[in-house]
Amino acid sequence: MKEQDDEEILQLFSKENSREQAFSALVNKYQRRLYWHIRKIVIDHDDTDDVLQNTFIKTWKGLDNFKQESQLFTWLYRIATNEALTFLKQKNKKNTQSINDIEYQLSKSLESDNYFRGDQIELKLQQAILTLPEKQRIVFNLRYYEEMPYEKMSEVLETSVGALKASYHHAAKKVEEYLVSN
């Protein structure tokens, strides 16, 4: 099936009788990209499923008020990122654990995850990424895996290009150090 343009989707969504059709096109177009983005933040598949559902619920509710000041794609990524971070914070509160403990748990859960097919090197790389602070981890994943240009990332994370470049450089340095010493 041919993917619809964002503009076309938004136009369809603005009409009462084609809202569902437009939303369905939006979900089909973006669900995979958003899933992998969230998955790399929360790691577990079931948690990702919850966060992705919340992301689409928020999108459905907010799409009417979407001002088109940014691209639809960056707006969706912003919602997904915020939802994933909120989810981790809530998980953190529920378990009364520190951020470091949560990262340690995520790192441990990778080893027994049925939906992780990486070899030893990839496991080490993921564990190295999990030692980074949450926001730096997002910057690293967006740049390293998704190869997102800094300008787009700047819109998603509302941070300057310079700060993002510096953040990615430090993240890569920390990951490299972890890989060398482990």
7 part of the interface to another protein, by CB under 8 A: no
**Could you give the CA distance from residue 71 to residue 60 in angstroms, rounded to a whole number?**
16
What's the DSSP call for residue 5? Answer: P
59 part of the interface to another protein, by CB under 8 A: yes
**Could you give the CA distance from residue 87 to residue 43 in angstroms, rounded to a whole number?**
12
For the chain, the C-alpha Rg in angstroms (whole number) is 18
Q: Give the range of 9-17, 31-39, 64-72, 74-82 binding another protein by CB under 8 A.
A: 31-39
Taking CB under 8 A as the criterion, the residue among 112, 127, 134, 156 binding another protein is: 134
**Phi and psi (nearest 5°) for 159?**
-135, 150
Q: Interface residues with another protein (CB under 8 A)?
A: 20, 23-24, 27, 31-32, 35-36, 39-40, 45, 49, 52-53, 56-57, 59-61, 99, 115-119, 121-123, 125-126, 132-136, 139, 143-145, 147, 149, 157, 159-170, 172-173, 175-176, 179-180
